[in-house]
């Protein structure tokens, strides 16, 4: 079985695609080739995971009127034509989101190759709403997403695949937490709050973290780890106050994110699909601050789904001051029963089997067409 996976742009799209590709290769014996952009994070992450990457030119579909908006449809058609030879050789095409989803979906339609789409978010993006009309099935991470697609579209709930390293947190939280103390400079016998800005960073969360550290400077029972994103690290460090009891650590980026999840008693994070998937698979109680300018407010929809399940509190961006975040963190850390209840709810919401489930969907589509 030969599978062509179209994805890219951000690590949040690439990591789930790579996790699924590993299951397709290792468990099902599929030959997997990726289609992406030379400028995206897939250019490094896909070959680094041992998979071939073919590149194609593609542009994002921006909603605001601009020259880029006018160029995007033409670029998509050209990219679809360019990738048709690769699509023609595949038994199934798996679209995992990102700029390449549109051209690879168009090419699959033209070549009559079965198309499977994966929708990460609770509110489907434009590319998947378009491609869903001729996809064999759309795998969703949130039940809400299926309700927002055309009625005749077949959907199945798989969850959003996460890296194997993150899955280890369920099995070896204590061992990973001990390693995290050494690697990340954390102290034992302190409760730990983590600020996760993502690979690009989040200035709102960084500012809230700085203010929180000022407000909680005397707390000798707490420690704060702030993952700033590479661009913001120096600025954040320069603004951090001197603390008398609070232990504060900053990192621009952490490759071994599983150590962070294992060490965290509570996390403050944006609500991107991959962040939500990883937090819930790891069972980390969260204060989610959705990015307010995400298309269709999909981050808020993601966050609300976890909140309804009991695994998170949602704090909207304009309310996410250091004081508000500090109040939420203390509320949780000072009530172990509530924190434990949130951790259990988070684990129930997370889909540790998502990569296997999505690989099975792709394989079953191939079986039905033979």
Gap between the Cα atoms of 8 and 96, Å rounded: 8
Q: With beta carbons less than 8 A apart as the criterion, state whether 173 and 281 touch.
A: no
* Residue carrying structure tokens 């001197």: 242
Which domains are seen in the chain, by residue range? Answer: 2-161+352-369 (3.40.50.2000), 164-349 (3.40.50.2000)
pLDDT at 353 (0 to 100): 97
SS3 192: strand
Q: With beta carbons less than 8 A apart as the criterion, state whether 117 and 155 touch.
A: no
Gap between the Cα atoms of 62 and 69, Å rounded: 5
pLDDT at 251 (0 to 100): 95
Gap between the Cα atoms of 6 and 15, Å rounded: 13
Per-residue pLDDT of the chain (370 residues; tens, 9 = 90+): 999 999 988 888 999 999 999 999 999 999 999 999 888 889 999 999 999 999 988 765 555 555 555 566 777 788 899 999 999 999 999 999 877 888 999 999 999 999 999 999 999 988 899 899 999 999 999 999 999 998 899 999 999 999 999 999 999 999 999 999 999 999 999 999 999 986 666 889 999 999 999 999 999 999 999 999 888 899 999 999 999 999 999 999 999 999 999 999 999 999 999 999 999 999 999 999 999 999 899 999 999 999 999 999 999 999 999 999 999 999 999 999 999 999 999 999 999 999 999 999 999 999 988 7
| CA distance readout (Å), 98 to 36, 240, 289 | 9, 35, 22
Gap between the Cα atoms of 284 and 266, Å rounded: 6
Gap between the Cα atoms of 227 and 233, Å rounded: 8
Q: With beta carbons less than 8 A apart as the criterion, state whether 34 and 53 touch.
A: yes
How many other CB atoms are found less than 10 A from the CB of residue 60?
Answer: 15
Q: b/e for 355-364, b at 16 or more Cβ within 10 A?
A: bbbbbbbbbe
Q: With beta carbons less than 8 A apart as the criterion, state whether 196 and 227 touch.
A: yes
Residue 239: exposed, middle, or buried by beta-carbon count in 10 A (0-12, 13-18, 19+)? middle
Taking alpha carbons only, the member of 206, 318, 202 closest to residue 271 is: 202
Q: Tokens for 326?
A: 């500090």
pLDDT at 8 (0 to 100): 85
């Amino acid at each position: 079985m030969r599978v062509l996976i179209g994805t890219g742009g951000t690590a949040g799209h690439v990591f789930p695609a790579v996790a699924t590709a590993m299951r397709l290769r290792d468990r099902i014996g599929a030959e997997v080739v990726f289609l992406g952009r030379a400028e995206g994070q897939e250019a490094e992450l896909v070959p680094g995971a041992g998979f071939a990457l073919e590149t194609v030119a593609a542009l994002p579909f921006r909603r605001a009127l601009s020259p880029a908006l006018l160029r995007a449809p033409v670029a998509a058609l050209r990219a679809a034509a360019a990738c048709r030879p690769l699509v023609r050789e595949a038994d199934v095409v798996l679209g995992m989101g990102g700029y390449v989803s549109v051209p690879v979906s168009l090419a699959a339609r033209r070549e009559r190759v079965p198309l499977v789409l994966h929708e990460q978010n609770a509110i489907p993006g434009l590319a998947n709403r378009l491609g869903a009309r001729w996809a064999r099935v759309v795998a969703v991470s949130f039940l809400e997403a299926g309700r927002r697609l055309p009625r005749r579209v077949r959907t199945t709930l798989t969850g959003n695949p996460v890296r194997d390293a993150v899955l280890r947190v369920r099995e070896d939280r204590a061992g990973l937490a001990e390693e995290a103390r050494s690697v990340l400079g954390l102290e034992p016998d302190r409760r730990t709050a983590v600020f996760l800005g993502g690979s690009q960073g989040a200035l709102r969360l960084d500012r809230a973290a700085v203010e929180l550290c000022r407000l909680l400077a005397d707390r000798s029972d707490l420690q704060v780890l702030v993952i700033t994103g590479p661009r913001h690290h120096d600025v954040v460090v320069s603004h951090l106050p001197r603390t008398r009891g609070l232990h504060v650590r900053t990192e621009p980026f952490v490759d071994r994110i599983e150590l962070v999840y294992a060490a965290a008693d509570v996390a403050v994070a944006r609500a991107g699909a991959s962040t939500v998937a990883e937090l819930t698979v790891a069972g980390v109680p969260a204060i989610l601050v959705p990015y307010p300018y995400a298309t269709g407010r999909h981050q808020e929809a993601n966050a609300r789904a976890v909140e309804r399940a009991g695994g998170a509190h949602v704090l909207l961006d304009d309310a996410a001051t250091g004081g508000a975040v500090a109040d939420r963190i203390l509320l949780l850390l000072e009530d172990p029963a509530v924190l434990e209840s949130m951790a259990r709810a988070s684990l129930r919401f997370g889909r540790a089997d998502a990569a296997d489930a999505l690989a099975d969907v792709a394989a079953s589509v191939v079986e039905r067409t033979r």
